[in-house]
A and B are shown apart, each in its own frame.
Chain A
């Protein structure tokens, strides 16, 4: 009996010839990612458990990407980055991306592959639930808490239960008005917020291969919204070419066995999908955009590890070009690399920044997680009252973007941009 992609990576990391779902195995970790919210607590646990003079297990495998509370006056937020900085210095960590310097990147899940730390077949843990994003590159990647991360810092290992695999096959030709966000919101709507609890969500099919890397990341990114341990897809040439350009380390991709058994299989025909939203307060509360045009909105937010990638802004610009927004439109590129690309003139001579300016969007904010998770009260785009938001982010829980009274509708960048133009939830087909 064969193994799935997730099982094969875990078997290799455990030094075993085979594993099966339900096995508890100690696995070797290739990358530990942390940020300013959970890094200080992780460091605290590491020092408490391994001693003040302890050294991390492998300096090359620790990546610190502060990104959450960067552009704020909050004292503790700055104190927390100071803790990371001091630790990076003390441990001589080569991969600390310090805010306020040219090394600063932005949102960790978009920055990690950009900075060359994501490789197919490897095991990545991060102190952030959206670490599952990196499965788009054929890695096993999963979110953990500070205690597990502190343990990894000292040992390079973690005890994990091998998850069952759920296979999601996406078939058909994606229409222009459909994005990966519509696909994943449909899947989560179908299986529910617990539909993949403890499982690996494996995506495959011709419609996945046809997606850009940015879009594949969106699929894996939101696996955790269905409760999954990881999202994953087999690495193809698009992935291998990207990774080889970014990393200086050798890697060996892993592929699932053809005969591997999975717990459940689902198939989606993407040619039949329609632009959608997730209504407050659950990512699984699926509704078609064209059936919610009665929802008047106060603002649009385009940003985060889910919806702040270059592809997301390019999509928004196709709608916003030569049009005007009717509501406050907040744009937060995930990383500095994306911010630079937004400012670069594209074919036609205009940069995306110019398109957004002409459309009347608010000035583009510097890269960070910003209002995706609310954050300190002075965070850019944070809801403060009863604002109704259409957002390209990943969670619409009560109070997620700041105010408990501000309802959030999750949507693709196309749907978000179309809604910004009309002032109510709008199917992007109206403008395409």
Chain B
């Protein structure tokens, strides 16, 4: 997570339910793409959430590479299943900056933090009942609040806890360099 990321994120949200697994976030047939190869990273974004059931509206428009949405609002246990880092990467590559869920599966949460692709935030309230896909949200990371723009209702986010210093440093490698676990990059 780079230090230059904005502390406020505003934009339309995409709403999903409980137990959205990594096969729905990025179906296995696209795992032949290697995220560290730039054109394949972008391609992963174009397939983000393509494993959702057909009743969901498109997350990335047909033929497009990026999503018009900037945040995902989810229920419980978002990102359960596989350890594929392709999952947070696909969402990040599609243009998602944060997911706000009731809870996360452990590996997805860790991968989101380690890669710095997106903020995996938790809210104690079921925001999937408040937002509909396409509604605007304003996320204030400093104040730890998410606001429903049209109604003005605001909801507190849970503190990131032990993950916060890693997020603040900008991901696992930056944190390890900052704390002296690995050598700093020579400029």
Q: Which residues of A contact B (CB under 8 A)?
A: 22, 24, 26, 37-38, 40-41, 44-45, 48-49, 68-69, 74, 76-77, 80, 83, 126-129, 131, 143-148, 151, 154-155, 157, 159, 161, 193-194, 197-198, 224, 227, 229, 282, 373-377, 395, 397-400, 402, 404
Contacts and interface: CB of A to CB of B under 8 A. Distances in A.
Interface string B77-103: 100111111101000000000000001
A369 B31 CA distance: 13
A405 to B, nearest CB: 9
Contacts of B35: 41, 44, 146
Given A37-B84, A69-B32, A193-B19, 11 more contacts: A41-B85, A44-B37, A143-B83, A145-B107, A146-B36, A146-B85, A148-B110, A159-B172, A227-B106, A282-B19, A374-B23
B74 to A, nearest CB: 13
Contacts of A68: 31
Contact of B34 (A44, A129, A154): A44
B43 to A, nearest CB: 10
A398 B77 contact: no
A398 B24 contact: yes
Interface of B: 19, 21, 23-24, 27-29, 31-37, 51-54, 76-77, 80-86, 88, 103, 105-107, 110-111, 114-115, 162, 166, 171-173, 175-176, 181-182
A373 B52 CA distance: 16
A48 B41 CA distance: 15
A222 B85 CA distance: 20
B173 A399 contact: no
Contacts of B111: 145, 147-148
Contacts of B33: 76
Contacts of A38: 83-85
Contacts of B76: 194
B105 A197 contact: yes
A197 B80 CA distance: 10
A49 B85 contact: no
B106 A198 contact: yes
Contacts, number: 142
Contact of A143 (B21, B28, B107, B114): B107
A45 B36 contact: yes
B164 to A, nearest CB: 11
Given A145-B115, A151-B173, A129 B81 contact: yes
Contact of A145 (B28, B37, B85, B103): B85
B23 A194 contact: no
B80 A193 contact: yes
B36 A41 contact: yes
Contacts of A373: 23, 28, 82
Most chain B CB within 10 A, of A26, A129, A395, A402, is at A129
A254 B173 CA distance: 31
Given A26-B181, A193-B19, A398 B80 contact: no
A413 B74 CA distance: 35
Contacts of B176: 151, 155, 159
A155 B182 contact: yes
A77 B182 contact: no
Contact of B80 (A131, A146, A227): A227
B55 to A, nearest CB: 11
Given A197-B106, A397-B81, A145 B114 contact: yes
B172 A148 contact: yes
A398 B53 contact: yes
Counting from the closest, the 3 A-B pairs by CB-CB distance are A44-B36, A145-B85, A145-B111
Contacts of A193: 19, 77, 80
Contacts of B172: 147-148, 151, 159
29 contacts: A37-B32, A38-B83, A44-B37, A68-B31, A145-B85, A145-B88, A145-B107, A147-B85, A147-B111, A147-B171, A148-B110, A151-B173, A151-B176, A155-B182, A159-B172, A193-B19, A193-B77, A194-B103, A198-B106, A373-B23, A373-B28, A374-B28, A397-B81, A398-B21, A398-B23, A398-B24, A398-B51, A399-B23, A402-B29
